[in-house]
């Protein structure tokens, strides 16, 4: 008979968070109250608190379980085990600053405490994966709303307020314009990539010949660089998704569909400059995916915020070569600390 988990996820309302999170409603509400940065920020922070409630609930359940375990160990006269549980309770606090590395387990850890902690860490990890895309989406919506609010204050010549709103918006920017990292991508078909005209080599981690699950060698990606892409596929579900992650794991570039620009022919592939890419308007459509493609991408060992903010781009031409370019700009960089 399979044991029930110590903290059943069904009791934490994970699915409820996704449904009540209400990102579209959040955006609409800010439009109805365009003059208050304070109210907009309060809505943003309230939505973040709501999204984080399952983790807070798990923390409360873990704290209560530790207290019951302490009572049990103490009642049994187990001094060493009692002291271990007591130390765990004190170090854990409310769980907001939990770091698994600060709670190592070894042969001296009380068995009941080890089981309890293992269950907590496993389920916290699952919840963090559920919540991370919501945080990323909310932050994106909040930044969009700030941009809208800044324009509204400027139109009203309320310049002091507009400056404060801009400062709030810019606080989300990563404080540098380059990263050293790798491109991670999935494509169904053939692909060649260049960075500023130089061929990008990659290894294919897929075991299925239909797909390429690629990871490039380490490169430095800087504002103004251009990634040129040449792709071909005869499949019905022909799409590309990619993201760049820094080697230290602190920064990434999720490549959204509107970052791609369609090139007319191979003549400009690899030769185009960033300012030329900026003049192009044609973008690929949303990329269709089959179950395997989505599964492979979701299985990539990348932060959830980075994966969820990247988007599938369609290979517009079937069989023939498709030529795309992505020019790196400062607003593409995404901080990933804490992921």
pLDDT tens-digit map of 11-56:
333 333 333 334 444 545 444 445 578 888 999 999 888 888 998 9
Question: What is the DSSP code string of 147-207?
Answer: HHHHHHHHHTT-HHHHHHHHHHHHTTS-S-SEEEEEEEEEESSEEEEEETTEEEPEEE--S
Same domain? 166 vs 184: no
Structure tokens at 160: 């002091």
Whether the predicted pLDDT of 277 surpasses 60:
yes
Q: Is residue 161 part of a domain?
A: yes
Q: Is residue 71 part of a domain?
A: yes
Structure tokens at 21: 């999170």
Whether the predicted pLDDT of 84 surpasses 50:
yes
Quote the pLDDT of residue 219: 95
- Structure pTM? 0.54
Quote the pLDDT of residue 39: 87
Q: What is the mean pLDDT of residues 245-250?
A: 90
Same domain? 137 vs 182: no
Q: Is residue 18 part of a domain?
A: yes
Same domain? 78 vs 133: yes
Chain-wide mean pLDDT for the chain?
82
Q: Is residue 3 part of a domain?
A: no
Same domain? 237 vs 294: yes
The Cα–Cα gap between 55 and 225 comes to 39
Q: What is the mean pLDDT of residues 94-121?
A: 77
Radius of gyration, CA atoms only, the chain: 24
Same domain? 207 vs 330: yes
Same domain? 117 vs 190: no
**Domain residue limits at 33:** 9-170
Most confidently predicted of 40-44, 241-245, 279-283: 241-245
Q: Is residue 2 part of a domain?
A: no
Same domain? 138 vs 118: yes
**For 4-8, 132-136, 289-293, which range has the lowest pLDDT when averaged over its residues?**
4-8
Same domain? 40 vs 135: yes
Q: How far is CA 129 from the centre of its chain?
A: 9
The Cα–Cα gap between 41 and 45 comes to 6
More confident residue, 150 or 3: 150
Q: Is residue 22 part of a domain?
A: yes
Q: What is the mean pLDDT of residues 238-260?
A: 91
More confident residue, 10 or 250: 250
Confidence at 203, pLDDT banded by 50, 70, 90: very high
Q: Longest Cα pair distance anywhere in the chain, in angstroms?
A: 80
- Beta pairing class for 251-254 and 239-246: antiparallel
Tell which of 120, 137, 170 closes a domain.
Answer: 170
Same domain? 160 vs 192: no
Structure tokens at 23: 């990102």
Same domain? 133 vs 209: no
Tell which of 140, 170, 200 closes a domain.
Answer: 170
Quote the pLDDT of residue 9: 39
Domain count, the chain: 2
Q: Is residue 27 part of a domain?
A: yes
Whether the predicted pLDDT of 5 surpasses 50:
no
Same domain? 185 vs 82: no
The Cα–Cα gap between 290 and 222 comes to 33
Confidence at 105, pLDDT banded by 50, 70, 90: low
The Cα–Cα gap between 320 and 188 comes to 14
The Cα–Cα gap between 211 and 214 comes to 9
Confidence at 330, pLDDT banded by 50, 70, 90: confident
Same domain? 184 vs 321: yes
Q: What is the mean pLDDT of residues 78-97?
A: 88
Q: Is residue 144 part of a domain?
A: yes
Whether the predicted pLDDT of 214 surpasses 90:
yes
Tell which of 124, 141, 170 closes a domain.
Answer: 170
**For 102-116, 181-195, 287-301, 324-338, which range has the lowest pLDDT when averaged over its residues?**
102-116
What's 248-312 look like in SS3? CCCEEEECCHHHEEECCCHHHCCCCCHHHHHHCCCCCCECCCCHHHHHHHHCCCCCHHHHHHCCC
């Amino acid at each position: 008979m399979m044991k029930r988990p110590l903290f059943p996820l069904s009791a934490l309302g994970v699915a409820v968070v996704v449904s009540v999170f209400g990102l579209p409603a959040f955006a609409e509400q800010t439009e109805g109250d365009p003059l208050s940065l304070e109210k907009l920020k309060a809505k943003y922070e309230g939505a973040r608190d709501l999204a984080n409630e399952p983790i807070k609930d798990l923390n409360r359940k873990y704290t209560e379980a530790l207290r019951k375990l302490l009572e049990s160990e103490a009642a049994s006269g187990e001094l060493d085990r009692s002291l271990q549980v007591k130390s765990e309770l004190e170090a854990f606090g409310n769980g907001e600053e939990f770091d698994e590395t600060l709670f190592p387990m070894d042969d001296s850890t009380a068995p009941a405490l080890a089981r309890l902690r293992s269950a907590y860490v496993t389920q916290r990890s699952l919840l963090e994966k559920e919540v991370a895309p919501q945080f990323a989406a909310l932050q994106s919506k909040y930044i969009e709303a700030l941009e809208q609010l800044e324009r509204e204050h400027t139109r009203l010549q309320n310049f002091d307020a507009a400056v404060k709103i801009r400062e709030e918006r810019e606080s989300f920017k990563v404080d540098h314009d380059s990263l050293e990292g790798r491109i991670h991508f999935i494509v169904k078909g053939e692909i060649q990539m260049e960075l500023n005209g130089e061929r990008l080599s990659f290894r294919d981690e897929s075991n299925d010949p239909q797909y390429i699950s690629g990871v490039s060698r380490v490169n430095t990606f800087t504002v103004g660089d251009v990634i040129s892409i040449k792709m071909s596929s005869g499949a019905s579900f022909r799409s590309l998704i990619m993201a760049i992650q820094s080697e230290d794991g602190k920064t990434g570039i999720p490549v959204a569909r509107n970052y791609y620009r369609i090139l007319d022919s191979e003549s400009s592939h690899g030769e185009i400059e960033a300012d030329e890419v900026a003049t192009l308007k044609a973008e690929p459509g949303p990329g269709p995916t089959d179950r395997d493609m989505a599964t492979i991408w979701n299985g990539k060992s990348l932060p959830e915020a980075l994966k969820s903010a990247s988007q599938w781009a369609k290979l517009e031409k079937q069989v023939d070569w498709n030529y795309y370019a992505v020019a790196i700009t400062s607003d593409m960089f995404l901080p990933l600390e804490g992921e």
